[in-house]
Amino acid sequence: MPRVIRGFVHGVDALNYFIGRIAMYLIFALIGVLMWSSVSKTFFDPTLWTLEMAQFIMVAYYVLGGPYSIQMGSNVRMDLFYGNWSIRQKAWMDAFTVLFLMFYLGVLLYGAIGSAAYSLGHFDGEPFVFFWDLFTTFVTEGPSAAKDKMGFMERSPTAWRPYIWPLKAIMIVGVTLMLLQVLAEFFRDIGRIRGVEI
């Protein structure tokens, strides 16, 4: 395999390993928020933010930990036939089926980008044009001019009413990392088909 592909695979593995090891500790933040929710409901006035914050932390935990899970091979598989195959047969099947996952993640990423643009007040047109315009305005005219480009920012309809864009930004980052990890796994499978371990 070319050195560029090897470097890409090792770089993506290192990045997702680092982020996955950090993201796994979000479970403790989730436990803390839910514990505080129970304590506040029992002894004090119930807090408005705990349930929604627990949902946000769970999304970050799941989305940022997904690429690490794929890297470690701990994702769910149907082993009825797959478990008895040789390494090369598994690599052929994985290289074929990962193409469907790449398509799905591409659609998911496009939807996440559009949804993030919507949460920043962009309600019509192409989200990539909006983000490019926002970026160029930020660089050339400064943060206040970029803020003027944004419309009415989406908020949650609950009593707490947090902004939604940080969660959607985490979705974009997580899906991008998963797409990169799946591409690295594809290259790894191609290497196994050719008899080379990356």
Tens of pLDDT along 122-156?
878 788 888 898 899 989 998 888 888 888 888 88
Q: Which two tokens stand for residue 104?
A: 């799905």
Phi-psi region of 44 (alpha: psi -120 to 50; beta: other; left: phi over 0): beta
Report domain extents, the chain.
3-193
Q: What angle (nearest 5°) sits at the alpha carbon of residue 191, between those of residues 189 and 192?
A: 65
What is the average per-residue pLDDT within 179-188? Answer: 95
> Mean pLDDT over all residues of the chain?
90
What is the average per-residue pLDDT within 62-91? Answer: 85
d(CA 85, CA 73): 16
Q: Give percent above pLDDT 90 in the chain.
A: 59
CA distances for 85 relative to 71, 82, 91, 161, angstroms: 20, 5, 10, 52
Can you give the pLDDT at residue 56? Answer: 94
3-class state of residue 154 by DSSP = coil
Residue 59: pLDDT band (50, 70, 90) is: very high
Residue 74, pLDDT > 90, answer no
Question: Residue ranges of the alpha helices (H) in the chain?
Answer: 3-23, 26-43, 50-72, 79-82, 87-119, 127-141, 143-149, 165-193
What is the average per-residue pLDDT within 66-75? Answer: 88
Residue 171: pLDDT band (50, 70, 90) is: very high
Residue 78, pLDDT > 80, answer no
Can you give the pLDDT at residue 187? Answer: 95
Can you give the pLDDT at residue 150? Answer: 84
Can you give the pLDDT at residue 113? Answer: 94
Can you give the pLDDT at residue 185? Answer: 94
Of 123, 102, 104, 106, which is closest to residue 183 (Cα–Cα)?
102
d(CA 170, CA 59): 8
Can you give the pLDDT at residue 144? Answer: 87
Residue 190, pLDDT > 90, answer yes
Encode pLDDT of 4-17 as tens digits: 999 999 999 999 99
